Amino acid sequence: MIKQLQDLIVQLSDELPGILAVAVVTVEDGMSIAEVSRRDDIEPAVAAAYLASIVKSNARAISLLADDEVVDDILITTSKYHFIIRHKDGQPFFLFLMTTKEEWLGKARKLIAKYEKEFIQFSDFLEKDYQ
């Protein structure tokens, strides 16, 4: 099952040249289940641990500020990069995508949405084995 998840991550990362890293990460503990990095200096597994706390904090903040809202994604933008975190409510995992700033943000978001349906099929496996 992990191999299938890894293959799907590789397939996603191959669709946009500006993707630097992609990971499937457990929400509960920030463990990277599958990942791809196109640069030696980018470690998605390390970033994943920190990003899990952002996902949890964001969920708490949104429930306090706008209880009936559903978060589409969390976007962090720096001078060189876009970091997109996509977590569907109730899923035991989130997707993390890092792109160059030159990559079209709308295209990256569409790509995540396209693959998200395929990743959801792994929910039961991830919930059972990684929660």
- Tell me the pTM: 0.88
Domain count, the chain: 1
Q: 118: domain range?
A: 2-130
CB 31 within 8 A of CB 47: no
Q: What pLDDT tens digit does each residue of the chain (131 aa) get?
A: 789 999 999 999 999 999 999 999 999 889 999 999 999 999 999 998 899 999 999 988 888 898 788 888 999 999 999 999 999 888 888 999 999 999 999 999 999 989 988 888 877 776 666 65
Question: CATH number, domain at 29?
Answer: 3.30.450.30
At 41 the pLDDT is: 95
* Residue 31 structure tokens: 């463990």
In Å, what is the CA distance from 82 to each residue of 21, 99, 102? 11, 5, 9
d(CA 78, CA 84): 12
